[in-house]
Amino acid sequence: MFLTGRQADILELAKAEGRVLVEDLAARFSVTPQTIRKDLNDLCDNKALTRIHGGALFPSGNENVKYEARRSIAAAEKQAIGQAAAATIPDNSSLFINIGTTTEAVSEALLDHKELMVITNNINVANRLRGFPSIEVVITGGVVRGSDGGIVGEAAVDFIRQFKVDYAVIGVSAIDHDGALLDFDYREVKVAQAIIANARHVILVSDSTKFERTAPVRIGHLSQVHTFITDKCPLDNVRAICAEHDVRLVETAAKASRP
């Protein structure tokens, strides 16, 4: 889905406020209610929002958001998270990168690194890195998911188990208040679990909207992660989990606000 600038702004407002109303949006953007209804219909047709009478809701998380819509959500935050994650990965490292728009932001920030070996089940990551001679790209086998270019299934799991790497960069669809890491596709979860099990240092990258969502399949727990990078962590109990299990918590928004 291609989002117009106004549609991307509407999606950000819905993410921040939980819902948006036609009349309010028409006044905000100085357009007719009919124009806003068309924007909302387009966003709802692509499952970026859920239609209600007089407006739309941001998805509660019981179904995944379309890939192009996900890319536009918290784009600036994901870029900052990607840069922070890349800064923790030294040259001459081996790493896994899994499926997700935030992990793709990490791959973008790795382009100036030297002598990396990147193993990924994300076609978008492989495509971004393949033109850089100082980065060796290894892509898993398996079923290619048409919606986002993710490679899933047992073949991908078996492939990943052949390696033991320095770092893993993983994304998730949701983070529960008890620290559970969640996703939608059980095939993707199996790949993520194999990645976690075969990396010496696990880096979780996730923007703060993932605290507002839920998903049905459990990947693991925050205690299995070594570094958690997010724009901000609003939950005290998640902070407590990080402290209890010696998980390094990096908040990019806090860094950006410092003089």
- The CATH number covering residue 128 comes to 3.40.50.1360
Domain shared by 35 and 148, yes or no:
no
Residue 29 and residue 125 in one domain = no
- Domain of 28 in residue numbering reads as 5-70
90-110, pLDDT tens digit by residue? Answer: 999 999 999 999 999 999 999
Give 121's pLDDT tier (boundaries 50, 70, 90): very high
Choose the final residue of a domain: 70, 101, 125: 70
Nearest to 118 by CA among 91, 143, 100, 88: 91
Co-location of 60 and 139 in the same domain: no
Domain C-terminal end among 70, 88, 121: 70
Q: Are residues 190 and 131 in the same domain?
A: yes
Residue 77 structure tokens: 């935050």
**Residues 27 and 100 reside in one and the same domain:** no
pLDDT tens-digit readout, 30-75: 999 999 999 999 888 887 888 888 888 876 554 455 666 666 677 8
111 and 203 share one domain: yes
- Over residues 138-176, the pLDDT tens digits come to 999 998 988 788 999 999 999 999 999 999 999 999 999
pLDDT of residue 62: 44
The answer to whether residues 204 and 105 belong to one domain is: yes
CATH code of the domain in which 21 resides: 1.10.10.10
- Same structural domain for residues 152 and 34? no
For residues 110 and 25, membership in a common domain is answered with no
**Which residues does 258 contact at the CB level (< 8 Å), separation at least 6?**
none
- Domain-terminating residue out of 70, 100, 126: 70
**Together in a domain, 29 and 83:** no
95 and 143 together in one domain: yes
pTM above threshold 0.85 = no
CB 231 within 8 A of CB 80: yes
Place of tokens 């839920």: 214
Is residue 131 scored above 70 in pLDDT? yes
- Strand-pair category, 50-52 with 248-251: unpaired
29 and 94, same domain (yes or no): no
| 66 Cβ contact list (under 8 Å, min separation 6) | 1, 46, 47, 48, 147
Domain count within the chain: 2
Question: Each residue of 67-79: b (16+ CB within 10 Å) or e?
Answer: bebbbbbbeebbb
